[in-house]
């Protein structure tokens, strides 16, 4: 399956202009840009947390700490 060619893009753009109107297109593009920006920010936040969690050693639970102190 290939991407649409020149005539197909022209038909798609004309359909969008007729269906939504020229006044709403900038508004829709702005909303789409905001959504993509928020998605990228959330994705980078998740990857940062995963990297941070993977680089720091896990601390023993409080119960394990008290048991270690009793044994010593």
| Residues 20-51: tens digit of each pLDDT | 888 888 888 899 999 999 999 999 999 989 88
* pTM over 0.85, yes/no: no
Domains of the chain: which residue ranges? 22-46
DSSP 21: -
Alpha-helical regions (H) of the chain: 6-20, 25-55, 62-71
Residue 65 pLDDT more than 60? Answer: no
60 three-state secondary structure: coil
Q: Helices 25-55 & 6-20, crossing angle to 10 degrees?
A: 110
Percent of the chain scored above 90 by pLDDT? Answer: 28
């Amino acid at each position: 399956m290939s991407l649409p060619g020149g005539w197909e893009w022209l038909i798609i753009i004309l359909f969008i202009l007729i269906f939504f109107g020229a006044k709403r297109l900038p508004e829709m593009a702005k909303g789409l840009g905001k959504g993509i920006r928020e998605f990228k920010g959330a994705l980078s936040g998740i990857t940062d947390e995963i990297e941070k969690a993977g680089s720091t050693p896990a601390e023993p639970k409080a119960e394990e700490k008290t048991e270690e102190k009793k044994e010593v």
